[in-house]
Structure 1
Amino acid sequence: MGIFSRFGDIVNANITALLDRAEDPAKMIRMMIQEMEDTLVEVRTTSARVIADRKSLERRIERLRSEASEWERKARLALSKEREDLARAALAEQQAVEDALQQAGRELGAIEEQLGILNEEIGQLQQKLDDAKAKQKSLQVREQTNRSRMDMHRSGNREKLEEAFRKFEAYERRMDDMEAELESHDLGRNRSLADEFEELERDDQVEEALAALKARMRSGKGSEA
């Protein structure tokens, strides 16, 4: 069974308090570090998947943009051949592609927000892991000092032992005073995705696009003349 049950447990953990309650602090800190490292790997793996999704969506957006331009080119060609029926159909297809492009843009925005959250989580986990490793080093120093204390007892140098121990305790108190609790950041973000377009009648959209295209083509012919 793990020490932590979720990401929030790690970033909110008071490592010093947990170690103070542990029967074997050295074993406890090793377990903490292992679980933190495993969690960090999981979050990085998730980030890699999201980045791959973003790249795939960006390629799709580029394809949609190219497709929309191609349908407009076909509409212009149809009008130049006096085939308004084909031009109208091409503009309808272009409108459908533009709608898909708008949706893909919203999806890309959601992915970017998710990546921002994951990046923040990775930073928090890494900082907590660094804190745990620092505490592990402190425990190792304490263990070495205790061994030295026992050796000095055996040799009968009690005064030297007590002096060394008092220095160590003073140093440890200074370290404890300097430790700061890491505060978890509120990862929640309110986000509202308002619809950018009202539902319009398809025929009205096509007619407006057709009229605009005719106007641009007439303007272009006038410039050539």
Structure 2
Amino acid sequence: MSLLDRVSTLLRANLNDLVEKAEDPERMLKQVVLDMENQLMQVKTQVAIAIADQHLLDKKKVEHEQQAAEWRRKAELAVQKGQDDLARAALERALSQDQLAIGFTTQAEDQKHEADSLRQALHKLEQKLTETRAHCEMLIAEHRRAKVVGRAAKAQHVVGNDQENTIGRMKSKVHVTAAENAAAVEVLNPESLEDKFRALESEDKVELLLSEMKTRLALKQG
């Protein structure tokens, strides 16, 4: 059973039914709270991992954006030195870094959505645990009073009438998926007809960027 399935099972548990069936109600109720606390710690760990992954993707995105800017700077230098071939190569590297940055941007956005969903689920679980602790304390007190005064049957009836106000039903479904690195997959796939046309378009774009760069530098020198 997965972590979230176990959490969902705990949240759906009817404390009144558990008390009625348990040989030792107090021990059983304390175990329910302990189980929920353990699951809560595991969900917190998942939230921390999701947030860390999001920060890592954001960092990768920024790194590729910076590398793209650096290759454009080198392309300008090459143009100033009359090295058009070097300028073209640098611009190709810049475009490649742009694509990687776009890929990491998409992954970072997806990961942020997943981290937000996990945080919301964690918040609901914390609230439900607080309610469960309070209700368990109430049920334990009821059970102890019933043993003292010898009215266990009446106490069970009171707990049964309070069934609708126990835990209720809540489903927590958190879908955590690792975003694929689109750029890495593209490198592994064989070159398609579309890839060849994109390469031609990229060459045209490089030539256009090179021409614009020359014009801009010429205007500055003029």
Q: Do the structures match in fold with TM over 0.5? A: yes
- The reply on whether 1:181 has 2:183 as its aligned counterpart is no
Deviation of residue 12 (structure 1)? 2.5
Aligned-pair CA distance for 1:32: 0.9
Structure-1 residue corresponding to 2:6: 6
Q: Shift of the alpha carbon at 1:85?
A: 0.6
Letter in 1 for 2:27: K
What is the correspondence of 1:31-46 to structure 2 with a 5 Å cutoff? 31-46=31-46
Distance 2:173 2:62 in 1: 35
* Deviation, structure 1 residue 173: 7.4
- The structure having more radius of gyration, on CA atoms, is 1
Note the residue ranges of structure 1 that are not aligned, 5 or more in a row: 151-161
Q: Which runs of structure 2 are paired with 1:100-179 in the superposition (5 Å)?
A: 100-146=100-146, 148-149=148-149, 175-176=162-163, 178-179=165-166
Q: 1:58 to 1:11 in 2, by over 3 A?
A: same
* Aligned-partner Cα distance in 1 for 2:6–2:205: 54
The question of whether the paired residues in 1 share the 8 Å contact of 2:87 and 2:210 is answered with no
Distance 2:209 2:84 in 1: 13
Query: Cα offset for 1:88?
Result: 0.7
Percent same amino acid among aligned pairs?
Answer: 22
Gaps of 5+ in 2: 183-193
Q: 1:85 to 1:217 in 2, by over 3 A?
A: closer
Q: 1:158 aligns to what?
A: none
Distance 2:127 2:84 in 1: 64
Partner of 2:209: 212
Superposed counterparts of 1:45-64, under 5 Å: 45-64=45-64
Note if contact 1:29-1:132 (Cα within 8 Å) is conserved in structure 2: no
**TM-score, normalization: structure 1?**
0.74
Equivalences, count: 206
TM-score (norm 2): 0.75
